[in-house]
Amino acid sequence: MKTFVWKDLNAAEKKAALARPENRRDERVLATVKTIFDDVEARGFDAVNDWALKLDGHGVERIELNNARVDAARAQLTATDLEAMELAVEHVRAFHQAELPTDGPVIAPADGLSLQRVYRPITTTGLYVPGGTAPLFSTLIMTAVPALVAGVPNRVCVTPPSKDGSLHPMMIAAGQAAGLEAVWRVGGAHAIAAMALGALEGVPAADKLFGPGNKYVAEAKRYALERVSGIAIDMPAGPSELLVIADATANARLVAADLLSQAEHDADAQVVLVALDAAIADAIAAEVEAQVSQLPRETIARASLEQARLFVVDSLEAAAEVSNLYGPEHLALQVAELDALIPLLTAAGTIFAGTYAAETFGDYAAGPSHVLPTDGAARAYDGITVRSYLTSFVVQRATKAGAATIAPAAARLARLEGLEAHARAADFRLEI
């Protein structure tokens, strides 16, 4: 981990120290994504299938979640496996159900005028679930369940195959528990292009794309915004990030475990430690080294640690400054003065406050979605909520009396802007 003393850095050095890994926005990644979109737009499903064969090693397949397939998948899992999955589904469902908005109150700014915000589910959502080296069925739960709660009628779910072409049985069991009818076996930027351009057979183009992914997937989502008219994305959600703020009271073993839990995701993942005490910084760094050698994904974790940062700060205010400038996807607070620190924080995808609030809980079973903004986007974006799957608009009503109240002011303002047709559309309401 590269180490910095925060107070010794100037503004330019602080910005450089907090930069994300450069290869996340490699121009070659964008060029590849553009090539894939061009091909999928020109050749449709055949192009998607060809890219799947080339990059995934297996063609595209729609996996029906029928009773026979689900029963076979569940038979490969233990009762404990299934209970854990079902607990996660229920916690996620309950959390998002509690946050589901209802139509707003009718507001009457004047007699005869009424305004009301109403909510509607998005028609078609594209849900990207990372797979391949690590089948993240947890992401299926975290995207499909809130979409179900929101009432989205078309939930299109894609995920890459494993090396042998199969889907993990939990992916199938979780899909059924989340109310999906099918999962498409296809991943990468070509899966994003397929959903964005409507190239999956029998499936409408997505109105909005959801889910995290590697740098190709993240770039494909960004590019879809430019390429496809009207499409939306949940947020920039690329390789994982975790920032931990730790003081002298922190448990070094737990902090190291939390850091490595994100480092093992991806070589492009980034972990950051902000230490209020030099001794705890040294203890955590030593624990990271001791624990990483015990991990099955040690090679990936060590590659991620090449991009890790350790900042030594001298106050809670300085710790908050580092975190707010970075805007982490996940922020863990291992400090004694939680109530003093939390009000200072302005930018984080989600916060895990205190010794027992493990980031892993949020990844799997706490309830809020673990699909969160990365690359500093937490300064402006929320993570996925049930509202992410809804649109809203205001219904405006006026009686004749209401029109008489507002028309003169509206017409006057329109003429001040030089928009005579606007003014007449107001005036004419007073003549009927």
Q: What pLDDT is stored for residue 26 in this prediction?
A: 76
Position 27 confidence tier, pLDDT thresholds 50, 70, 90 = confident
Q: What pLDDT is stored for residue 24 in this prediction?
A: 64
Q: How many C-beta neighbours within 10 Å does residue 105 have?
A: 9
Does position 25 have pLDDT exceeding 70, yes or no? Answer: no
Phi then psi for residue 415, to 5 deg, are -70, -30
Does position 133 have pLDDT exceeding 80, yes or no? Answer: no
Does position 45 have pLDDT exceeding 90, yes or no? Answer: yes
Does position 103 have pLDDT exceeding 90, yes or no? Answer: yes
Domain with CATH 3.40.50.1980 in the chain: 2-21+239-367, 27-235+386-390
Query: What's the CATH number of domain 2-21+239-367, 3.40.50.2300, 2.60.40.420, 3.40.50.1980, 3.40.50.720?
Result: 3.40.50.1980
420, containing H or E segment: helix 420-427
Rounded Cα gap, residues 111 and 77, in angstroms? 63
Strands 241-246 and 309-312: unpaired
Cite the active site residues.
329-330
Look-up of token digits 């299934």: 82
Per-residue tokens: 264: 């093992």
Please say whether the dihedral angle defined by the alpha carbons of residues 157, 161, 165 and 166, taken in this order, is positive or negative: negative
Comparing C-alpha atoms, which of 57, 87, 259 is closest to residue 165? 57
Q: What pLDDT is stored for residue 158 in this prediction?
A: 98
Rounded Cα gap, residues 51 and 40, in angstroms? 9
**Residues contacting residue 247 through CB under 8 Å, at least 6 positions apart:** 275, 276, 277, 280, 334, 335, 336, 337
User: Would you say 327 and 242 are in contact if contact means Cβ atoms under 8 Å apart?
Assistant: no
Comparing C-alpha atoms, which of 19, 21, 35 is closest to residue 223? 35
Q: What is the pLDDT of residues 298-317, one digit of tens each?
A: 999 999 999 999 999 999 99
Rounded Cα gap, residues 432 and 429, in angstroms? 6
Global pTM reads 0.91
Q: What is the pLDDT of residues 330-388, one digit of tens each?
A: 999 999 999 999 999 999 999 999 999 999 999 999 999 999 999 999 999 999 999 99
Comparing C-alpha atoms, which of 86, 102, 82 is closest to residue 94? 86
Does position 43 have pLDDT exceeding 90, yes or no? Answer: yes
Comparing C-alpha atoms, which of 129, 126, 263 is closest to residue 195? 126
Query: What's the whole-number mean pLDDT along residues 142-154?
Result: 98
Does position 237 have pLDDT exceeding 90, yes or no? Answer: no
pLDDT above 70 as % of the chain: 99
Q: What pLDDT is stored for residue 337 in this prediction?
A: 97
CA 192 to chain CA centroid, Å, is: 15
Three-class secondary structure of residue 398 per DSSP: strand
Q: What is the CATH number of domain 27-235+386-390?
A: 3.40.50.1980
273, containing H or E segment: strand 270-275
Q: How many C-beta neighbours within 10 Å does residue 45 have?
A: 16
Rounded Cα gap, residues 426 and 411, in angstroms? 6
Q: What pLDDT is stored for residue 250 in this prediction?
A: 98
Q: What pLDDT is stored for residue 135 in this prediction?
A: 84
Q: What is the pLDDT of residues 246-292, one digit of tens each?
A: 999 999 999 999 999 999 988 889 999 999 999 999 999 999 999 99
Q: What is the pLDDT of residues 162-208, one digit of tens each?
A: 889 999 999 999 999 999 999 999 999 999 999 999 999 999 999 99
User: Would you say 146 and 384 are in contact if contact means Cβ atoms under 8 Å apart?
Assistant: yes
Q: How many Cα atoms within 13 Å fall on the side-chain side of residue 320?
A: 13
